[in-house]
Amino acid sequence: MLRRLQDFDVKSKRALVRVDFNVPLDKKTGEITDDTRIKASLPTINYLLSQNARVILMSHLGRPDGKVVESLRMGKVAARLGELLGKEVLVAPDCVGQEVESLALGLKDGQILMLENLRFHPEEEKNDPEFARNLSKLGEIYVNDAFATAHRAHASTEGVAHFLPSCAGFLMQKEFDYLSKALENPAKPFLAITGGAKVSDKLKLLFNLLSRVDILLIGGGMAYTFLKARGFSIGSSLCEDELLEKAKEILDQATKSGVELLLPLDLVVARDLNNPADSLIVSIEEIPPDYGGVDIGPKTRELFKERIKNAKTIVWNGPVGVFEVPPFDEGSREIALALTQSGALTIVGGGDTAAAVEKFGLAEKISHVSTGGGASLEFLEGRPLPGIEVLKN
Ligand code: AMP
């Protein structure tokens, strides 16, 4: 169990809150192009304000690599947050030091201060204890709401928790509760769908899922290495030849564990991603040598949807086709739609898959779309996340 924000008395206290406001910025104008991450922490911020806490927010933005980068200052993020809250958000000139301490100590009940980009200091990513201690001087309680960075042991995500009473914000709690429920206590049948480009990125995930799920559906670029391991000719499809033995091991492991592992029966194949008119639908026995897989085919979609319909818990990580390039997004769209119609507890694990369900306009109908790409993958791999471990009782 995580220590929860609502179990602490935060009235009139200085709450030092790690949020993930690492929002995408327009390359030319520097404007925020998507404020989902800011909105995701509003429940925590609003709760603290309702308790008359003094809110000190800290985040990183982009990759300044330990130096001040003007375009990565937090000012525009603070302004956007201010608009969303309808309230002034003060901006600090740095995230540590005398001046910032005075600002933090001078806050009144219900005021908000946004610290400057944590990663302007190299000590942040090194989890430097002195830097963590300096951050901790700003608050009386530490709240971590930045699930998307919980897989990193940085000063603001791990180190600071050693110097202050610490707890999880509402976003962190929600992420933890959904992902743990799926892994530890899933309603059965428990089905997982994995896709994405490479098997190598998902090996640990596959092994962990095999020990937990009843059904594993494999699509996307990673499926072709498995099809080749089963002896099919896969044309010019993506393949990691060095992983053919591992793929066989996974197929054997599924049989031993009694997991129904399903690979595509047919595919959409193309010679050139930029020329969809030249694509074909073929069974896996007849992939032409100069064509490569770009999506799951109609028979596979039906098979996968049939299994999805009967599942009670579903975890999806990785698109089943090149969803960025229509019409090769159709397989992923049908899977997303089937999830929303299944009645199951549905969890979409961050990054590209979250972008896909957003694009299809179906995110609202998924039980939980994780805000963490790397963090949700590592969680589903069964790895302890440093930013979460430190919040456990
Ligand atoms: P990942 O980050 O590993 O989840 O991979 C996501 C990427 O996998 C997306 O950019 C997809 O375009 C890509 N992908 C999915 N299916 C395929 C495929 N059949 N061939 C090539 N790339 C694919």
Which phi and psi (to 5°) does residue 14 adopt?
-85, 110
pLDDT at 375 over 80: yes
Share of the chain above pLDDT 70, in %: 100
- Parallel, antiparallel, or unpaired: how do β-strands 215-218 and 190-194 relate? parallel
130 to each of 19, 100, 143, 359, how far by Cα in Å?
A: 21, 16, 19, 43
**Domain check: are 114 and 162 in the same one?**
yes
User: pLDDT by residue (tens digit) across 263-307?
Assistant: 999 999 999 999 999 999 999 999 999 999 999 999 999 999 999
For the record, the structure tokens of 210 come out as: 């095999």
**Domain check: are 203 and 167 in the same one?**
no
**Domain check: are 103 and 236 in the same one?**
no
Domain limit, last residue, from 148, 172, 196? 172
Q: Identify whether 305 is part of a domain.
A: yes
- Parallel, antiparallel, or unpaired: how do β-strands 280-283 and 345-348 relate? unpaired
Rounded to two decimals, the pTM is 0.94
Q: Identify whether 393 is part of a domain.
A: no
From the candidates 3, 13, 14, 37, give the one annotated as an active-site residue: 37
**Domain check: are 287 and 315 in the same one?**
yes
For residue 321 and ligand 1, the question of a CB distance below 6 A is answered with yes
**Domain check: are 103 and 231 in the same one?**
no
- Number of structural domains in the chain: 2
User: pLDDT by residue (tens digit) across 248-257?
Assistant: 999 999 999 9
Query: DSSP assignment of 177-212, as one string?
Result: HHHHHHHHSPPSSEEEEE-SS-SGGGHHHHHHHHTT
**Domain check: are 149 and 228 in the same one?**
no
Ligand 1 atom with minimal separation from the 237 CA: 20
CA distance 187 to 152: 30
| Across 184-193, 305-314, 342-351, least confident range | 342-351
pLDDT at 4 over 90: yes
Q: Identify whether 386 is part of a domain.
A: no
Domain limit, last residue, from 138, 172, 206? 172
CA distance 386 to 125: 13
Beta bridge partners of 345: 313
**Domain check: are 142 and 54 in the same one?**
yes
CATH of the domain at 230: 3.40.50.1260
Q: Identify whether 387 is part of a domain.
A: no
Q: Identify whether 181 is part of a domain.
A: no
Share of the chain above pLDDT 90, in %: 98
**Of 91, 113, 132, 117, whose CA–CA distance to 45 is shortest?**
113
In the prediction, which pLDDT does 52 show?
A: 98
User: pLDDT by residue (tens digit) across 6-24?
Assistant: 999 999 999 999 999 999 9
**Domain check: are 199 and 168 in the same one?**
no
In the prediction, which pLDDT does 350 show?
A: 74
In the prediction, which pLDDT does 38 show?
A: 97
For residue 373 and ligand 1, the question of a CB distance below 6 A is answered with no
Are 189 and 215 in contact by the 8 Å Cβ rule? The answer is yes
Ligand 1 centroid–CA 293 distance in Å is: 11
pLDDT band at 346 (very low <50, low <70, confident <90, very high): very high
Beta bridge partners of 168: 4, 144
**Domain check: are 47 and 164 in the same one?**
yes
For residue 296 and ligand 1, the question of a CB distance below 6 A is answered with no
For residue 294 and ligand 1, the question of a CB distance below 6 A is answered with yes
| Host domain of residue 262 | 186-380
For the record, the structure tokens of 213 come out as: 């799920």
- Parallel, antiparallel, or unpaired: how do β-strands 266-270 and 280-283 relate? antiparallel
**Domain check: are 120 and 195 in the same one?**
no
Nearest residue by C-alpha to atom 1 in ligand 1: 196
From the candidates 66, 374, 382, 383, give the one annotated as an active-site residue: 374
Domain limit, last residue, from 140, 172, 204? 172
**Of 73, 77, 81, 1, whose CA–CA distance to 44 is shortest?**
81
Specify whether 383 is catalytic: no
Q: What share of the chain is helix, strand, coil (3-state, %, to 5)?
A: 40, 15, 40
From the candidates 351, 372, 373, 387, give the one annotated as an active-site residue: 351
